[in-house]
Amino acid sequence: MTKFKENLIVVLATLFLTWTIILFVNNTNLATNVLWESMNQQKAMQDMQFVFNSGDIYLICQKNIDNIASVSMELMFDSSKVKLSKDSFDSPFDISLSKKEWDNGYDIILQNINTLSKWDTVLKIKDATKKQFDNINVGHIQVIDNNWNIMDLTSSRK
């Protein structure tokens, strides 16, 4: 019986310590700000932002980028929820679209850009719905500069 009492005391003490840590220590701000600053920096450093506004979806540049030969990206979506055609896309730059074989996305190449300024619209998807916006993901975005250097860009949603 003493073995049982010892085990019960150990279990209860463990539960007590666990709940003490969860309730008191975890509620104080013992965590460093490194994690939060890292998350804020990541958000601030996004190169492109995917935005839904007034029935259209826009890919907006978030910073100045010079010396651009082309931008390539892929859009992925659930084809049962999103119906897009090549006419749905518009860009101020020369645009080349190719539908993915498995019918759930487009590979997009934009050319004759030279420079992107902050807040420039890179790509517009016309006559879109909020449901389409929620079901479209911007995949890999790359910029190739005039010296053939490849730069990967990051994107976020608003």
Q: Where are the domains of the chain?
A: 2-30, 47-157
Provide the pLDDT for residue 71: 92
Provide the pLDDT for residue 92: 94
Question: Which amino acid is present at 40?
Answer: N
Handedness of CA 141, 146, 150, 155 (dihedral sign): negative
Contact 124, 56 (CB under 8 A): yes
Contact 75, 138 (CB under 8 A): yes
Which pair of tokens denotes residue 92?
Answer: 């101020």
One CATH from 2.60.120.1440, 2.60.40.680, 3.40.50.11740, 2.40.50.140 for 47-157: 2.60.40.680
Question: Which amino acid is present at 1?
Answer: M
Secondary structure E strands in 15-120 = 48-53, 56-61, 65-77, 89-90, 94-99, 105-116
Provide the pLDDT for residue 78: 83
Report the predicted TM-score, pTM, of the whole model to 2 decimal places. 0.67
Per-residue pLDDT of the chain (158 residues; tens, 9 = 90+): 687 888 778 778 787 777 776 666 554 444 444 444 444 444 445 888 989 998 899 999 998 988 899 999 998 888 888 888 889 999 999 999 988 877 688 999 999 998 999 999 999 999 888 888 888 888 888 898 888 888 888 888 87
Provide the pLDDT for residue 22: 67
Q: How far apart are CA 108 and CA 98, in angstroms?
A: 7
Provide the pLDDT for residue 39: 43
